[in-house]
Amino acid sequence: MPRTAKNRKEAVEILKQIAKGGSLKNGSRLTATLSGKSIDEIVSGQAMQQSFDSAVHWCAAANVDILFSNAIEPWEFELNPGKNNENLKSRRYLYAPMGFAGRILPVKLTLKEYKQEGLDKRLYSMEAINVDLLEKK
């Protein structure tokens, strides 16, 4: 990954720069925005706890635009009735591979699509998953 962040503060600064660049796009022609609320969610303590390692989480946050551009959506999910779905059209889960310390790890990106006309799809959260995508030889 081309950018690094060692902590929350560094990740926030990089995420703000990414947000200034406009909408994120991926190969499936899906677009999303990165709002101030999205940035807060990505660097929150809860997000850190979902990722298996803080160093991996900060690296993924610093490169979220690249991860989003390579992300795939393997299947569609129904809205979870146990979550707050107010004003949501859909909650999408995308996955992208990330190289880190000699490993290839999946990163899960959550995208919220709103019912209200004019509201963009927003990147909501991110989670680095402790699974090697390539078997070591």
Q: Is residue 135 part of a domain?
A: no
Give the number of domains in the chain: 1
- Cα Rg of the chain, angstroms: 14
Q: Is residue 134 part of a domain?
A: no
In this prediction, residue 121 has a pLDDT band, given cuts at 50, 70 and 90, of confident
Q: Is residue 2 part of a domain?
A: no
Q: Is residue 52 part of a domain?
A: yes
Write down the pTM of the prediction.
0.87
> Range of 79's domain?
8-128
In this prediction, residue 1 has a pLDDT band, given cuts at 50, 70 and 90, of confident
Q: Is residue 81 part of a domain?
A: yes
Q: Is residue 26 part of a domain?
A: yes
Q: Is residue 46 part of a domain?
A: yes
List, in sequence order, every residue forming a beta bridge with 92; answer none if it has no partner. Answer: 111
